[in-house]
Structure 1
Amino acid sequence: MKAFRQFVESNIASGSFAGVEELLADDVVFRSPIAHKPYPGKAITAAILNGVSRVFEDFHYVDEIEQDDRSALVFEAQVGGVTVHGCDFITTDDDGLIKEFTVMVRPMSGAQALMNAMEAEFPQIEADAIAFMEAQR
């Protein structure tokens, strides 16, 4: 999805993806490479993506595959000095909003580094999701 890729590339250096919720469907489902259950909803997905923006260093997309409403965005990054290779699998709805967002990462050391970094971010992620939901009321 070109709009998401452009958004990330324009904002990753700031450590914030403020406004990413504009690209998400209300019923978006986020699937993490380090969690066993999906995260449904715009509030938690936006908060997780903001958390990711704080933990990835030297993040950049290296390839993109698009077919109809599906995209695969291949990336490389560093997390705590560990190299992470991954892919964002994105499906959009009829309005062009992201309805499914699945992330896969490798190698295992990169997944472990990401898990540890995101675990440290999770209190802020939860607080951000709650604040977003309250603002929507």
Structure 2
Amino acid sequence: MQRFRAAVEARDAAAMEACLADDVVFTSPVAFRPYPGKPITAAILRGVLRVFEDFRYLREINDAGGHDHALLFEATIAGKRLTGCDFLHVNADGLIDDFMVMVRPLSGATALAAAMAEQFERIQREAVEAVAREAR
């Protein structure tokens, strides 16, 4: 998980995307349904980079088998401080195939939901463009 963590901390969207499996499923802390696929997950992560301020990882927890990881973080969104955790599963190739995020407190989750809602048209457009590029 060091590669993904380093990419996030460097705010390197391309390196973050390179850590994702094609069949990754992203589960948002503020959306009801999960988002399947690398194009939408990468676009969501780019959106998060745009809205999180003062982002930093606090702790990393890894299972003995090396497939499950938890990355505890803090960030600010629109003046609201939040704490969250990225729960990641990596496949046999070492790529993230399951990515679930949880955040607290409610005021932080609400600020995140509002900020990401403002980003969502751009996120969808970026995902569609990525799928179109792959199809060529």
TM range (shorter): over 0.9
Alignment match of 1:63 (pick from 59, 66, 87): 59
Per-residue CA deviations over 1:99-134 (Å, capped at 9, x if unaligned) read 000000000000000000000000100010011101
CA RMSD of aligned residues (A): 0.9
Report the equivalent of 1:84. Answer: 82
TM score, norm. by length of structure 2? 0.95
Structure 1 gaps of 5+ residues are none
Shift of residue 88, structure 1, vs aligned partner: 0.2
Report the equivalent of 1:115. Answer: 113
Partner SS state of residue 95, structure 1: coil
Structure 2 gaps of 5+ residues are none
* Percent identical: 52
Does residue 4 (structure 1) correspond to residue 4 (structure 2)? The answer is: yes
Runs of 4+ in 1 over 4 A off after TM superposition: none
Task: Give the counterpart letter for 2:75 in structure 1.
Answer: A
> Is the 1:18–1:50 Cα contact (8 Å) retained in structure 2?
no
Alignment match of 1:106 (pick from 70, 88, 104): 104
Aligned pair count reads: 133
Report the equivalent of 1:38. Answer: 34
| Structural mapping, 1:13-52, within 5 Å | 17-52=13-48
> Is the 2:4–2:15 Cα contact (8 Å) retained in structure 1?
no
Q: Distance in 1 between matches of 2:19 and 2:43?
A: 13
Per-residue CA deviations over 1:1-57 (Å, capped at 9, x if unaligned) read 21110100111xxxx623422111110000000001000000000000000000000
